[in-house]
Chains A and B, each alone.
Chain A
Amino acid sequence: MKIFWAFARQAFHNSAVYRFEFWLRLFSIYLLMYCIYWVWKTLYTQTPGAFGVSLEQMVTYGILGMALEIFLDVGPEWYIATQVRTGAIDTDLMKPLDFHVHMLARSTGEMMFSLGILAFPSFAIGHYLFGLSLPGDVLHGLTFAVSLILSFFVFFHIGFLLGTLTVITLDIRSIAWAYYSLVAFFSGQIVPLWLFPEVLRKISSFLPFQAVYYIPISIYIKTLSGSAALKALGLQAFWAVALVFFARWAWDRVHTRLTVQGG
């Protein structure tokens, strides 16, 4: 556990180097929020009541969908892809830590860095400029926090699996765009799943992506509450555990292949 935090701290420091980037990222967050705010506001003014929720909830959903990406999307796949392409992956494998745990530590560090410096200003922008609602009470906030941790876990492992794929394909750049747009689509990041046509909603309910954005945000805006929220948390936990096993299994298989190639 001590080593885990050592690696997490290292990743935190690496991200802290770029100060100028902070302002660019903040501005970019502002733009994304601005965009989604106007989309929902326009649609709501046009047909009030068609969402099944209030404008405030809808705007909150849209803004969170944009804001959470900064913390959740730490992209372990890009790190793995670069290491595989340059061959530096062997130094990673020599480290005194299991590769999967090492990657998790790295990503956790990066996530906490983004959370530490960007969470407060982003929420301030969201709340004061676009009317992002705040959590109702402590219990509600805690449920959301738990859901968010599970969501990070699920998202990390999906990225890790994609990274594992690069050991075979050697490059993910050509599939990355399709992958990211499919994740954004089926996770309900931009358009909540309840607005989907029946068929697409069915498909998305069988995929792990809903655990990334749809569930935590729905808990936040209280369209999932009480027992439904608990059930959703259970589903997230299921996907988190299933993906840990799947990711470890996949990495073990590919890992031996990597050693054979290197020999």
Chain B
Amino acid sequence: MSAMALYFRLIRVAIQARMQYRADFLTGIIGVIVMNVTTVTLIGILVTRFSHLNGWSLWEVVFLYCLWLLGHSLFSLFFWHVRALEDYLVEGTFDQFLIRPASPFILFLGREVQYLGVADAIFGISGLSLAYSNLDLHWNATKWLFFGAAIIAGTLIESTLSLMIACISFWTGRSRRANNLMMQINTMVQYYPMDIFGYVFRVIVTGFIPVAFMNYYPALMLLDKLDRVGSLWWLAYMSPVVAFLLVGITSVVWRLALRRYSSSGG
């Protein structure tokens, strides 16, 4: 069986397992939607009160948040559990992946789905549709294509960063705290246009923990705001490239981590 086919079969099993708890599914979905509504309302209050936030109007800020949310929803659906890698290692679940006749990576990725991502997707699509009509956008085919690419890139960026940080636990046994910290930096970039922050922070979220490529940079291209970054306009097109690079780096990190694990397992 090819890796892809195996992955999809595992995902189907994981969804069936999840579907046994329907009440939990519903409260969870409602909970996440409430959370997104309060978040956007808070930012909305600020932006309408002061008419704009550093040149970003209310609907542009909604657009930024929802663009991030769509990429995040796919991460949340399929890759949320990479953050829990340390539990897999501590509880010995990870050993099961190693003794089966298939790639441990695929077995690990297909282990779980996190249904709450559905709520993020619902909210993200509604928010983006509202923003699209309120901003009176008329995208051509190139923009739609780039929009799709940006969402996939967003998912990949968040997933690879989470996985790389989770891999720390192969060495230290603990990684969740570090991942929470990454999430916190990520949150700052999603909630507010990243150009309100200081220079050092902007460099970090562009070059070192490149979460700004999940929404800020692609939004510059999609909302025709390239002039905001002047001569760095090309960064707006870089999300897919960044995602591609991160996938490459992560696969190396994963291989190193796995070698380390099997050698210490004895």
Binding site for B on A (CB under 8 A): 21, 24, 27-28, 31-32, 34-35, 38-39, 42-43, 46-47, 50, 171, 174-182, 184-185, 190-191, 195-197, 200
**B196: nearest chain-A partner, CB-CB:** A42
**What are the residues of chain B within 8 A of A200 when measuring CB–CB?**
45
**What are the residues of chain B within 8 A of A38 when measuring CB–CB?**
192, 196-198
Are the CB atoms of B192 and A43 closer together than 8 Å? no
B contact residues, total (Cβ < 8 Å) = 32
Q: Considering the complex, which residues of chain B in the window 153-205 have a beta carbon less than 8 Å from any beta carbon of chain A?
A: 177-178, 180-181, 184-185, 188, 192, 196-198, 201
24 A-B pairs whose Cβ atoms sit less than 8 Å apart in the complex: A31-B188, A34-B201, A35-B197, A38-B198, A39-B53, A39-B192, A42-B53, A42-B54, A42-B196, A43-B46, A43-B53, A46-B52, A46-B53, A47-B50, A174-B27, A175-B27, A177-B31, A178-B35, A181-B34, A181-B35, A181-B38, A182-B34, A185-B41, A195-B46
C-alpha spacing A62/B250, complex, angstroms: 37
Are the CB atoms of B177 and A21 closer together than 8 Å? yes
B42 to chain A, nearest CB (A): 6
**What are the residues of chain A within 8 A of B13 when measuring CB–CB?**
none
Q: Return the contact of B181 from the options A27, A43, A184 (Cβ within 8 A).
A: A27
**What are the residues of chain A within 8 A of B177 when measuring CB–CB?**
21, 24
C-alpha spacing A35/B197, complex, angstroms: 7
- Bitwise interface map of B from 15 to 26 toward A, beta carbon under 8 Å scored 1, else 0: 000000000100
Interface of A is mostly: helix
With contacts A31-B185, A191-B42 taken as known, whether A178 is within 8 angstroms of B196 at the C-beta atoms is no
Are the CB atoms of B184 and A32 closer together than 8 Å? yes
C-alpha spacing A196/B198, complex, angstroms: 27
* B226 contacts chain A at the CB level, 8 A cutoff: no
**What are the residues of chain B within 8 A of A46 when measuring CB–CB?**
50, 52-54
**What are the residues of chain B within 8 A of A21 when measuring CB–CB?**
177
**What are the residues of chain B within 8 A of A42 when measuring CB–CB?**
53-54, 196
C-alpha spacing A43/B50, complex, angstroms: 7
C-alpha spacing A195/B43, complex, angstroms: 12
C-alpha spacing A47/B35, complex, angstroms: 29
Q: Which of A32, A181, A182 has the most CB of B within 10 A?
A: A181
**A47: nearest chain-B partner, CB-CB:** B50
Extra contacts besides A38-B196, A42-B196, A182-B34 (6): CB < 8 Å: A21-B177, A24-B178, A28-B181, A39-B192, A42-B53, A46-B52
With contacts A35-B188, A43-B53 taken as known, whether A182 is within 8 angstroms of B38 at the C-beta atoms is yes
C-alpha spacing A35/B185, complex, angstroms: 9
Are the CB atoms of B50 and A50 closer together than 8 Å? yes
Q: Return the contact of B30 from the options A32, A178, A185 (Cβ within 8 A).
A: A178
* B32 contacts chain A at the CB level, 8 A cutoff: yes
* B104 contacts chain A at the CB level, 8 A cutoff: no
